[in-house]
Amino acid sequence: MGPILGDRRLFSTLRYEIYANHAGISPPSRPVVQALTDVGEDYAARAFAAWPTYNDQRTSLRQRLARMLCVDSEDLGFTSNTTQGVIDIALSVAWKPGDRVVVFAGEFPANVTPWQSAAKTFSLELEMLSLEPFARSAQEGLDALERALSKGVRLVAVSAVQFQTGLRMPLEAMAALVHRYGGELFVDAVQACGIIPLNLRALAVDYLACGSHKWLMGTEGAGFVYVHPDKIAKLVPRVAGWLSHEEPVRFLLEGAGHLRYDRPIRARTDFIEGGNLPTPSLAALEASVKLLEDLTIDRIFAHTTQYLDALEPQLTALGFHSMRSTDRDLQSGSLCLRPPQHISLEALHRGLLREHIATAMPDGFLRISPHWPNAMREVPTLVQAVRDVMRTLESAP
């Protein structure tokens, strides 16, 4: 059977009554599990002879992701996770001492630590801005960013969606502003890709990294990087490996005399693919992306928005403070809330787990992140579970 919005029959072994932690790790669907099994069995049977099959499979996956993001497939390169993608770009920019990099306090560390490391390595100036102005309004955030850009900028790094609060950043406006001041925009898209429609051509971001185990609903161990075609020639391939060359495997296929070390590094984003790739995870990702294609990201996002629209007012009526923006353009697939002051977040989270409800609690927030398999009929069950756990906690000595 194919995927159906609000239907979890492709997740028949999932042990939670409600799984609402897709912003953390998504459970693999039956087709994803089957893809992992197929790769293992194929290599067990054919060993080295299976390699060309999965080399071709990566071409198919690259094309699917390119269509999802509205870019050309040659602008994408595979990596093992979001963090590695951030590192690859941070090491490959043609830095000059004193270049200014702007990051944001409150970002997930994956999009801060590599820039801190690059600042030390290349003698860069790093400025950390607050996300609070963006939380109040997109325009206030853009005004604060412009004040920082007026001091000079080489690159701004931001997450498409903030992991703590679910705030979706105004990427198109940020890119235009950064470009006006001569800088580049890097985006960590792991909290957006697979749930929010992303047209990278329209957004005009310069670089993007993403992993597969959250909203893309693949498994851990796979990810990709996007580089705008105008930027690729300006990168320094410091992360290149043996498979980064043009015709890298020719010496293994055509007999003697083809082993060379002077073949040029590919002037495409896939120069970051310096060694053997995580074949099972990439096959799993394609299996999941096929499901997303069938459903379409637009329909998925509308479905999760309807779910959160129904859930949010019922939780705020229980005393929760919602961090979800009232601006539709700044909403994401996550509903993040602060519990009432007298309720321990850790105890609430544990209580929900005992009720077989999976949520997350990033840095002080209760995060509820449904996806396409979550049904609207879950909402009253989830609200009642929260109410029951709160009563238990309030009555405890």
Nearest to 279 by CA among 46, 12, 30, 2: 46
| Residue 224, helix vs strand vs coil | strand
pLDDT (tens digit per residue) in 144-177: 999 999 999 999 999 999 999 999 999 999 999 9
Which band of pLDDT confidence, cut at 50, 70 and 90, is reported for residue 397? confident
Average pLDDT, the chain: 97
pLDDT (tens digit per residue) in 175-225: 999 999 999 999 999 999 999 999 999 999 999 999 999 999 999 999 999
pLDDT (tens digit per residue) in 16-47: 999 999 999 999 999 999 999 999 999 999 99
pTM: 0.97
| Residue 365, helix vs strand vs coil | coil
CA atoms of 371 and 369, how far apart (whole Å): 7
User: In 10 A of CB 97, how many CB atoms?
Assistant: 8
pLDDT (tens digit per residue) in 80-135: 999 999 999 999 999 999 999 999 999 999 999 999 999 999 999 999 999 999 99
pLDDT (tens digit per residue) in 258-276: 999 999 999 999 999 999 9
Look up tokens 């749930």; give the residue.
195
As a whole-number percent, the residues of the chain with pLDDT over 90 amount to: 97
Which pLDDT score, from 0 to 100, does residue 337 have?
98
CA dist 247 to 251, 285, 319, 336, Å?
9, 26, 61, 48
**Could you say which DSSP state residue 321 is in?**
E
Sign of the torsion angle spanned by Cα atoms 333, 382, 28, 22: positive
- Domains of the chain, start order: 9-28+297-395 (3.90.1150.10), 33-292 (3.40.640.10)
Write out the two tokens for 216: 């893309």
Whether the CB-CB separation of 203 and 71 falls below 8 Å is answered with: no
Query: Residue 333: pLDDT above 80?
Result: yes
Which band of pLDDT confidence, cut at 50, 70 and 90, is reported for residue 1? confident
